[in-house]
Chains A and B, each alone.
Chain A
Amino acid sequence: MSDDPKWPSDWIRAVLAPCILQQVQTRNESYGYQIVQDLGARGLPGIGGGTVYPVLNRLEADGRVRSEWREGNGGPGRKFYSITPEGETWLSETSGAWQDFTARVAAILTMEGNPA
């Protein structure tokens, strides 16, 4: 039996796009399966292609990533994504806002006793 934590799906939904974009930025360019593996290796296991590709599709439609197909050996090849300047700006803003939000939530959740 897996010891992987089961996070509520709405938590995952809220942060998946910036997490995926961060993986793309970290590697300069990446493709779907590699992103799935990277997310798992960095503590978000169990997020499959069925979740990642629609997010990549939205990020591309919003101009936050661009993509390029590279041919494989007789197969369909791989679609590599790279971050755009718009994506970098959005990631920086979203990442900062998320850290601020989680710090506030953590402060509330660790409060003891009743407020004065």
Chain B
Amino acid sequence: MTTLEYFRALALGLRQRKLSEDQVADLLRELQSHLQETGARPEDAFGSPKEYAERFPKGSTVSRGSKIGYLAAAVLMVLIGAKVFTGQVLGISLGFPGTLIYLGATVLLTFALVAWSNVLQRRLPERIAEDLSRRK
């Protein structure tokens, strides 16, 4: 795992523990400071990003990435529910091609939202991202 990958995985872990964006930025910066001081690899000094994130007390902030993830789940359920409702209760059929397009669009939209959520969960504060890319 590269240093950049480690930082992104840690950012994800800290957001999953519902730490605020300020706390995430602060902890990542402190990690970066320690690594610069010691020259160590992040995994050697701090263990796996998931285990390290779990050492911090849980917070109560729902990150933007998590909100998008919940939205993806809600969109999937609503669109599938609407399809079942219109077909089974109202008796409206889209036909085979229509159903295929509807389900395809549903899957695509859900995947897009999940991908967006994943990007947001792993993003690094600007200052840290810049510094890491400078040192690559």
Shortest Cβ gap from A32 to chain B (Å): 6
The answer to whether B57 touches A58, judged by C-beta atoms less than 8 angstroms apart, is yes
Q: Is A50 an interface residue (CB 8 A)?
A: yes
The answer to whether B33 touches A77, judged by C-beta atoms less than 8 angstroms apart, is yes
**Which chain B residues have a beta carbon within 8 Å of chain A's beta carbons?**
26-27, 29-34, 36-38, 45-47, 52, 55-57, 127-128, 131
Report the count of interface residues on A (CB-CB < 8 A). Answer: 19
Residue in A50, A75, A77 whose CB lies within 8 Å of B46: A50
Given known pairs A48-B45, A49-B45, A50-B45, the reply for A72 and B30 (CB within 8 Å) is no
Chain B residue nearest to A33 (CB atoms) is B37
Residue in B38, B45, B52, B128 whose CB lies within 8 Å of A76: B128
**Which chain A residues have a beta carbon within 8 Å of chain B's beta carbons?**
31-33, 48-51, 53-54, 57-58, 61, 69, 72, 75-79
**Chain B residues positioned under 8 Å from A79 (CB to CB):** 26, 29-30, 33
Shortest Cβ gap from B32 to chain A (Å): 4
A-B contact pairs, 28 of them (CB 8 A): A31-B33, A32-B30, A32-B34, A33-B37, A48-B45, A48-B46, A49-B38, A49-B45, A49-B46, A50-B45, A50-B52, A50-B55, A53-B31, A53-B34, A54-B55, A54-B56, A57-B57, A61-B57, A69-B29, A72-B33, A75-B33, A75-B36, A76-B29, A76-B32, A77-B29, A77-B33, A78-B33, A79-B30
Chain B residue nearest to A32 (CB atoms) is B34
Shortest Cβ gap from A78 to chain B (Å): 6
The answer to whether A76 touches B131, judged by C-beta atoms less than 8 angstroms apart, is yes
**Chain B residues positioned under 8 Å from A77 (CB to CB):** 29, 33
State A31–B29 Cα separation when bound (angstroms): 13
**Chain B residues positioned under 8 Å from A69 (CB to CB):** 29
